[in-house]
Structure 1
Amino acid sequence: MLRIFIVSLFLAFTFQVQAQDKWSLQKCIDYALENNLQVKQSNLDVESADISLFGSKMSNLPSVNGNLGLNTSTGRTIDPFTNTINDRGINSQTAGISASVPLFDGFQRYNSIKRDQYGQLAAESDLKTIQNNVSLNVVTFYTNILFNKELLETAKLRLETTESQESRIEKQVEIGALAQADLLQIRQQKANDELEVVRAENNLNLSYLQLKQALQIPANQDFDIEIPELPEPNTGELMESSANVYQYALQNQPVIKAAEYRKESAFRSIGVARSRYYPSLSLNAGISTNYSDAAPAQFPVLGSENITITRPIGIVENTGQLVVTQDEIPSEFRENTYWNQLDFNQRRFVGLSLNIPIFNQFQVRNSVQQAIITKKRSDYQLTAAKNDLQQTIEQAYLDVKAAAKSYSALNNSFEASELSFKNAEQRLELGAIDAVQFTQIKNDFERVKSDLIRAKYDYIFKLKVLDFYQGKPLNF
């Protein structure tokens, strides 16, 4: 008893895990959007556009650069401390930091930021377009599984019906109510029905494989989907006109948004190119210092007062009079240490730099012309995107109307065919018709039934596509 209990518990747990593994349509869509390689690549395009936009915005900040230098020279060379010529080896060091702020650049930075903003929006819209395409593919394959599942169930029921008819005909043949040919006919029909079951199973397996490939999961992975409760399609419900659907899609579809953003980005690129026609003005500032081992042992203290000293320079001949001169020298001196020298040699500067373009081998002109061509190309691409969208929606609208009519007509045909089939079953049991006639009526009924299932899912999917262009969620 304990073993039976454990086995039952294990089977129950396994069944529960398998039930939990069934994927809903939304789970399939979410998984595909997370793992699809095209989506991942498009995400990288968005990241790249973000970086470009960040770089354009940061171009408004100052550029700051530092420099360090270590030099050794021999022979006649200029001492960087005294700017005098020395005939000896000199070791020197230089250090500095400078900054530059662009004040005016012909609106190049402004247009660059705008261009990259629209470029980033276009990349995001491209990502949404790819996500929509991936979602539609998942819906297509998911619907195919539902369709093929129902076809398989129908094929199995058809086989069960034929097997039941075979059993009844065998009994009627045994009592002589029907001929042996009727039994052979029904057995041939049974073989055909078995073949249809195999075909339906293969089609179902293929639809599972297509969905797995869309989700990029291994073909041998256990996988099943949830079967949603699909209401019978209402072909009489009012639909938006194709013009209204197009107007809504025109304002909301990311493929149109991307084309519009690229058009604006191309327009801003013209401004970027034209900015090189204008002068550019920048503010520059910096501080630098240097050290030389040829500097004197002492140097004046910066800011100290000067004093006047008198020193002899010679004696006048004949009179013996002393000749003197007066010099002004700093009153305080500092020892020539490394840090004191760096402090003493500091130099600071602030200035404006104006760059005026005069002639550039027509490079700016060519850049502007290329930008204008790119702008015209983006105009055409936007027009083409709008035309494609309009044609797609008009085609989807006509497809829905045609699918609704087909489903409605097949529904009526199915009702008549079902009554004919039931009547044929009764007449077969009474011996009023033979197996050949019954098989023909049964085949007609099954064909209409299969066509009705196909029309049902065709209408559901095409209506879902039209709903997509109206911004409705892709779920059942």
Structure 2
Amino acid sequence: MVKNIFLIVLCLCATQLLGQDKWSLQQCIDYALEHNIQIKQSELDAQSADINLFGSRMRSLPDMNANVSFNTSKGRSIDPFTNTIIDQGINSQNASINASVPIFNGFEIRNSVKRDQKNLLASTYDLQSTQNDVILNVVTFYTNILFNMELLETAQLRLGTTQSQQNRVDKQVEIGALPMADLLQIRQQMANDELEVIRAENNLELSKLQLKQALQIPGDVEFEIEIPTLPEPEEEVLIENSSQVYLYALQNQPVIKAARARTESAMYGVGVARSNYFPSLSLNAALSTAYSSAAPDVFPVLGSENQVITQQIGFVQLPDDSQYPVFAEREVPSEFTENTYWNQLDFNQRQFVGLSLNIPIFNKFQVKNNVEQAILTQKNTEYQLINAKNQLQQTIEQAYLDVKSAAKAYSALENSLEAAQLSFDNAEQRLQLGATDAVEYTQIKNDYERVRSDLVRAKYDYIFKLKVLDFYQGKPLNF
């Protein structure tokens, strides 16, 4: 139920959007870039890489943790206040705050930051590459719509011409100027032309559906595009060779930039793995305290001065069997405080600061294996970069050859159309004068219409392949 409601709302919103204006190519591109799922996934990958980079940078900050524990015991145990063995029930509590700051760890943090910076850069270029793929798809489907619209217009004009010829032949058959076979031939051609119109309409609807699917718009929504004024393509606009295009694309195509960034990231990954060969040094600090229910009723006040007192420490046995007391001086605190919870926590405070040095000696060859794996990863990314360059070069060479072939085909069909036009005009005049039959006329007309359709197809094929070549040269893909 919820899914159906969502689809209805989506259709209504899309209908409202599409019902306002016809869509230009730029509007289609902008809409696809905003709503395409693959682009959104690439954006999430870039955000994830950014989070990883933030985490690597923050590793140079101190670690700080607090710990609190509550304990109860019965029987013989160690009094946490006096560290003596007692035989009674004790309730105790411990609390501490610990901090550790890395000072040196074999440049592991620095290499991790640089590695994640390159990963973020690669994710950003991947996003741009995905956007470029979406743009090319939109341009392809948009061009297909224009192509099929012109084919439909050509089919409709052809049907109109056949209709006029049928009316003319029908009148000539009525007066006996032409045989009935010519009328039947024209009627057959009329049926074929009607079928071609239906096919052209279906192809146009299919191309619109493909573009709507690329834009992720429901298929039952009305959708129309703007018809731009397309200049006739000229073969002279071609550059001399594909090397110029490749050199530009090599420096600017995001797929190459992403491969380079991943190669550099893998290089820093080797540094991260090798950092475990080095000692690590960190600064540690802690603050702790404790509470014990077995503590005495009073204990010295922290910071109070000691005082000297004379205290009896025993007796000396005299010859007459009498005892003589013995006294000694000792230092004792001058102030005491009651054993309250907070006073005891304050009294039991302990501060600690120290350096910790960790020296790796033997780790079951784990570091060695990690370094070798990182080196293999680096070599693999280098091969991936080489492969990406080769694929880019092959794609551009193929695109350049396709443009040259399309240009030659377009030029040849222009010349062929001119000859077919003259032949068709001549056949039409001869048919009107009764100098030819409908069979010959239909054959010449079909040849002419075939050349016209081929020229339309060659024109849009040439335009699209030029746009593909423009894409690798960094030119905008608008018409």
Q: TM-score over 0.5 for the alignment?
A: yes
Whether the aligned pair in 1 keeps the contact of 2:19 and 2:222 (CA below 8 Å) is: no
Structure 2 partner of 1:419:
422
Instruction: For residue 139 of structure 1, give the secondary structure of its aligned residue in structure 2.
Output: helix
User: Which residue type is aligned with residue 22 of structure 1?
Assistant: K
Instruction: For residue 30 of structure 2, give the secondary structure of its aligned residue in structure 1.
Output: helix
Q: How far 1:17 sits from its partner (Å)? A: 8.9
Instruction: For residue 226 of structure 1, give the secondary structure of its aligned residue in structure 2.
Output: coil
Q: How far 1:103 sits from its partner (Å)? A: 0.4
1:366 has 2:356 as partner = no
Structure 1 partner of 2:13:
none
Instruction: Spell out, residue by residue over 1:330-382, the C-alpha distance to the aligned partner (whole angstroms, 9 max, x if none).
Output: 11111111111111111001100000000000000000010011011001000
> What pairs with 1:52-201 in structure 2 (closer than 5 Å)?
52-201=52-201
> What pairs with 1:7-406 in structure 2 (closer than 5 Å)?
20-239=20-239, 241-317=241-317, 318-406=321-409
User: Which residue type is aligned with residue 373 of structure 2?
Assistant: Q
User: Which residue type is aligned with residue 190 of structure 1?
Assistant: M
Q: How far 1:213 sits from its partner (Å)? A: 1.3
Q: How far 1:19 sits from its partner (Å)? A: 6.6
Structure 2 partner of 1:4:
none
Distance in 2, matches of 1:133 and 1:119, equals: 21
Structure 2 partner of 1:6:
none
Distance in 2, matches of 1:92 and 1:155, equals: 95
Instruction: For residue 224 of structure 1, give the secondary structure of its aligned residue in structure 2.
Output: coil
Distance in 2, matches of 1:401 and 1:358, equals: 66
Instruction: Spell out, residue by residue over 1:90-126, the C-alpha distance to the aligned partner (whole angstroms, 9 max, x if none).
Output: 1111111111000000010000001100011111111
Instruction: For residue 23 of structure 1, give the secondary structure of its aligned residue in structure 2.
Output: coil
Q: How far 1:319 sits from its partner (Å)? A: 4.6
Distance in 2, matches of 1:71 and 1:249, equals: 69
Instruction: For residue 302 of structure 2, give the secondary structure of its aligned residue in structure 1.
Output: coil
Distance in 1, matches of 2:175 and 2:432, equals: 13
Instruction: For residue 328 of structure 1, give the secondary structure of its aligned residue in structure 2.
Output: strand
User: Which residue type is aligned with residue 412 of structure 2?
Assistant: A
Q: How far 1:325 sits from its partner (Å)? A: 2.3
Q: How far 1:445 sits from its partner (Å)? A: 0.4
Q: How far 1:23 sits from its partner (Å)? A: 1.2
User: Which residue type is aligned with residue 470 of structure 1?
Assistant: Q
Structure 1 partner of 2:7:
none
1:36/1:48 CA distance change after superposition, 3 Å:
same
Q: Which moved more, 1:442-451 or 1:416-425?
A: 416-425
Distance in 1, matches of 2:323 and 2:43, equals: 97
1:461 has 2:427 as partner = no
Q: How far 1:234 sits from its partner (Å)? A: 1.8
Gaps of 5+ in 2: 1-15
1:22/1:401 CA distance change after superposition, 3 Å:
same
Distance in 2, matches of 1:452 and 1:189, equals: 21
Gaps of 5+ in 1: 1-15
Distance in 1, matches of 2:143 and 2:314, equals: 115
Distance in 1, matches of 2:387 and 2:168, equals: 65
Structure 2 partner of 1:10:
none
1:55/1:185 CA distance change after superposition, 3 Å:
same
TM-score, normalised with respect to structure 1: 0.95
Distance in 2, matches of 1:231 and 1:312, equals: 118
Whether the aligned pair in 2 keeps the contact of 1:315 and 1:321 (CA below 8 Å) is: yes
Whether the aligned pair in 2 keeps the contact of 1:163 and 1:190 (CA below 8 Å) is: yes
Distance in 1, matches of 2:314 and 2:384, equals: 93
Whether the aligned pair in 2 keeps the contact of 1:250 and 1:256 (CA below 8 Å) is: yes
Q: How far 1:245 sits from its partner (Å)? A: 0.5
Q: Which moved more, 1:461-470 or 1:285-294?
A: 285-294
Q: Which moved more, 1:382-391 or 1:181-190?
A: 181-190
Distance in 2, matches of 1:397 and 1:217, equals: 33
How many residues were matched structurally? Answer: 461
Instruction: Spell out, residue by residue over 1:278-312, the C-alpha distance to the aligned partner (whole angstroms, 9 max, x if none).
Output: 00000001111111111111111122221111122
CA RMSD of aligned residues (A): 1.3
Whether the aligned pair in 2 keeps the contact of 1:21 and 1:223 (CA below 8 Å) is: no
Q: How far 1:238 sits from its partner (Å)? A: 3.9
Structure 2 partner of 1:443:
446
Distance in 1, matches of 2:364 and 2:314, equals: 67
Instruction: Spell out, residue by residue over 1:19-74, the C-alpha distance to the aligned partner (whole angstroms, 9 max, x if none).
Output: 73321111111111222221111111111111100100000111111110111111
Q: Percent identity?
A: 71
Whether the aligned pair in 1 keeps the contact of 2:399 and 2:469 (CA below 8 Å) is: yes
Distance in 1, matches of 2:242 and 2:405, equals: 14
Distance in 2, matches of 1:397 and 1:288, equals: 74
Distance in 1, matches of 2:186 and 2:129, equals: 53
Structure 1 partner of 2:4:
none
TM-score, normalised with respect to structure 2: 0.94
Q: Which moved more, 1:389-398 or 1:335-344?
A: 335-344
